[in-house]
């Protein structure tokens, strides 16, 4: 007898699946082909994505697994039980710093990118502010609404991306796919390290699994949700390098956007196809950043239990916005995102296994 099904504060399998995908697909996709061709020879970078992706898939599964042991409890609750209160609080603070940095620099990076391609004369500060205001508006609503937005945006993003890939197929040159397997193992591992930054995003599972009606489904949803971006990144990487060749990919700031610019619609009546790509790209970053901001709020309200969600939004927003404006240029933004990324790597790829181990040990004790 549920007439108004979506009115409740619970989510299902689909929300987790698309949530993870939307969180992972983001800024990284624009520069990843360049970074990988810098580090590896020829077209071998796809192996880095595959390796990094595998790590991300396993970690996402682990996070969901740990969280599903504690139904309806978010990370902020169960971590204190799991690893004692002081360590738990330290982890929450660490996590909070990470997500604040993540949102701030993500907003800045988006502003820089759109300025380059779309808003030549608009100051970065203004682009960042208007984008950030929309994010603030999004997080002011309910958390579940935020997750359901992913269901709407992600298919559009995937659709447009595949359309662009399809239309570029004619320009892909076979010569660029050779030679294969010429990079050293060292450089492959080195590149894998960089893909790890692009696959951050599984951390949302620490919190959103608690909202699930049936948390047992979480590990599978997380697994599949992570496989999607991994496959997408591999396909995009192969087409970008197939299109430009490794030498050119190395030199382009945002190779993926350039790929979108390459599209020539037959008949030449639609020339600026990349505007579509820019739109969906802003949508993905919006999803990513708003979920990131939501994490900040969950974490801070769990630390300091006073104040409403709205109050915290008003208090945090100026701080996050100004933080994003600190880097002086594009290179510094990338560097800042790297530093934040290192924290993220701990949270997303190392912490879940530690927690899983602790869970296993505790269980052993209980049942012994």
Partner 1 sequence: MRRVWKIIVVIPFFFWMTGCWDRVEIEERGFVVGVAIDKPLSAKGKEELTKEAPNKPQAKNRYAVTYQIVVPANVTKEGVGGGGSGGSGKGKASMNITSEADSIFEIGREMSTRTSRTPYFEHLKVIVVSEEVAKTGELPTVLDFFLRNPEMRRGTVMLISKGRAKDVLEVEPPNEKLPAIYLQSVSRNTFKAARMEPIVRIGKLQGFMLSKQSYVISAVSPSEKEVKIAGEAIFHSVDNKMLGYLNEEETEGQNFLRGKVKGGLLKIPVKDNLVTYEIKREAKNIKAQIQGKDNIHFTIQIKSEGNIAESMVHLDFLQPNRIPNLERLVEKEILRMTQDSINKIQKDYKADVIGLGEYLENHHHDFWLKVKDNWDQGENYFSKCKIDVEADVRIRNVGIIDHAANQKE
Q: Does 258 bind partner 1 (CB under 8 A)?
A: yes
Note whether 178 binds partner 1 by CB under 8 A. Answer: yes
Asked if 175 is part of the footprint of partner 1 (rule: CB under 8 A), the reply reads yes
63 contacts 56 by C-beta, under 8 angstroms: no
Farthest-apart Cα atoms in the chain, separation? 73
Q: What is the DSSP string of 92-126?
A: HHHHHHHHHHHHHHHHHHHHHHHHHHT-SSS-HHH
Residue 30 Cβ vs partner 1, minimum distance, rounded to whole Å: 13
Q: Which stretch binds partner 1 (CB under 8 A): 139-147, 177-185, 189-197, 209-217?
A: 177-185
Question: Considering only residues 121, 216, 306, 365, which one is a binding residue for partner 1 as defined by CB under 8 A?
Answer: 121
Asked whether the beta carbons of 176 and 238 are under 8 A apart, the reply is: no
Which residue, 113 or 324, has its beta carbon nearer to partner 1? 113
What does each C-alpha distance from 365 to 70, 109, 359 come to in angstroms? 17, 47, 10
Tell the residue number behind the tokens 């915290």, with chain if given. 312
Angle, alpha carbons 162-127-139 (nearest 5°): 75
**CB nearer to partner 1: pick between 182 and 350:** 182
Burial of 117 (0-12, 13-18, 19+ CB in 10 A): middle
Is 248 a binding residue for partner 1 by CB under 8 A? The answer is yes
Nearer to partner 1, 118 or 151 (CB): 118
In this chain, which stretch among 7-15, 88-96, 171-179, 220-228 interacts with partner 1, using CB under 8 A? Answer: 171-179
Q: Taking CB under 8 A as the criterion, which residues in 186-245 touch partner 1?
A: 244-245
Identity of the residue, 129 or 356, whose beta carbon is nearer to partner 1 in the bound complex: 129
> Interface with partner 1 includes 38 (CB under 8 A)?
no
The answer to whether the CB of 11 falls within 8 A of the CB of 262 is no
Cβ closer to partner 1: 248 or 323?
248
Looking at the DSSP assignment, which residues form a beta bridge with residue 212? 11
Q: Does 129 bind partner 1 (CB under 8 A)?
A: yes
Q: How far is the CB of 128 from partner 1 (least distance, A)?
A: 12
Rounded to an integer, what is the distance from CA 172 to the centroid of its chain? 28
Q: Which residues of this chain interact with partner 1, rule CB under 8 A?
A: 116-122, 126, 129-130, 175, 178-179, 182, 244-245, 247-248, 250-251, 258, 261-262, 264, 271-272
């Amino acid at each position: 007898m549920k007439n108004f099904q979506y009115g409740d504060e619970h989510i299902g399998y689909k929300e987790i699946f698309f949530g993870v995908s939307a969180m992972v697909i983001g800024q990284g996709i624009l520069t990843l082909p360049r970074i990988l061709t810098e580090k590896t020879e020829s077209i071998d970078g796809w192996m880095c994505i595959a390796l990094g992706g595998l790590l991300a898939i396993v970690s996402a599964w682990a996070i969901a697994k740990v969280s599903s042991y504690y139904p309806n409890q978010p990370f902020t609750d169960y971590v204190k039980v799991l690893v004692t209160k002081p360590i738990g609080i330290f982890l929450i603070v660490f996590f909070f710093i990470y997500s604040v940095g993540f949102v701030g620099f993500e907003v800045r990076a988006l502003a820089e990118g759109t300025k380059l391609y779309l808003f030549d004369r608009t100051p970065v500060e203004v682009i960042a502010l208007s984008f950030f205001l929309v994010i603030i508006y999004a997080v002011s609503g309910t958390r579940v609404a935020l997750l359901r937005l992913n269901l709407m945006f992600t298919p559009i993003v995937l659709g447009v991306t595949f359309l662009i890939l399809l239309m570029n197929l004619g320009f892909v040159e076979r010569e660029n796919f050779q030679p294969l397997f010429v990079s050293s193992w060292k450089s492959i591992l080195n590149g894998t390290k960089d893909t790890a930054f692009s696959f951050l995003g599984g951390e949302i599972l620490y919190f959103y699994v608690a909202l699930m009606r049936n948390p047992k489904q979480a590990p599978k949803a997380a697994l599949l949700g992570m496989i999607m971006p991994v496959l997408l990144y591999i396909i995009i990487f192969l087409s970008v390098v197939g299109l430009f060749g490794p030498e050119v990919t190395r030199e382009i700031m945002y190779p993926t956007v350039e790929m979108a610019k390459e599209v020539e619609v037959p008949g030449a009546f639609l020339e600026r196809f990349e505007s579509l790509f820019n739109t969906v790209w802003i949508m993905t970053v919006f999803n990513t950043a708003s979920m990131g901001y939501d994490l900040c709020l969950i974490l801070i309200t769990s630390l300091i239990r006073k104040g409403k969600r709205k109050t915290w939004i008003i208090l945090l927003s100026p701080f996050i916005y100004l933080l994003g404006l600190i880097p002086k240029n594009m290179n510094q933004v990338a560097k800042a995102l790297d530093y934040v990324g290192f924290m993220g790597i701990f949270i997303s790829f190392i912490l879940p296994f530690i927690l899983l181990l602790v869970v296993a040990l505790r269980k052993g004790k209980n049942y012994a």
